[in-house]
Amino acid sequence: MSYRVEGSENFLHLAAALKAADRKLAGRIRKRLRETAKPLGEEAVQALAEAMPHRNGLSAIVARAKAGVSSTTGKTARVEVRLRAPGYDLAAMNAGNLRHPVFGGKAWVGQSVPAEAASRAFEAGMDPMRTALQREVESLLSEINAGRL
């Protein structure tokens, strides 16, 4: 499950600057973009964990899910936030469906869980993240233009 912010005009200018930059500089720039976006993923993981049943540890298991952030450049510059929890279908949980084995048996059952918890967290955080990313991109562009990067 992932959400992404795609290229404003400044993102495209930064993508062009990254193409002209050496690999080390490009890596440092992408790292700063990832660090700016990472809190949104962590907030979404916590929101999904809070919405899950607390009995039998499902909430704690979901809370250990990883929020991955990637930034890419090319024709479209973007930053993408993904949630991963090996062995668990977070997208299905976000849709309100959970399948799990019955304790002590081999049978599996479906259980309804609160839907859209992670989506709501992502949506609530998108505008602040977009603003923070745009601020970071503007800062990076001014540093590049001033020769400080």
Tell me the three state secondary structure of residue 113. coil
Reported as a single tens digit per residue, the pLDDT across 113-129 is: 888 888 888 888 888 88
The answer to whether the beta carbons of residues 121 and 44 sit under 8 Å apart is yes
What Å distances lie between residue 49 and 86, 98, 111, CA to CA? 15, 13, 16
| Residue pLDDT, tens place only, 36-62 | 888 888 888 888 888 888 887 888 888
The mean pLDDT of the chain is 81
pTM confidence score: 0.69
103-107 long-range contacts, CB within 8 A, separation 24+: 103/56
Q: How far apart are CA 79 and CA 61, in angstroms?
A: 26
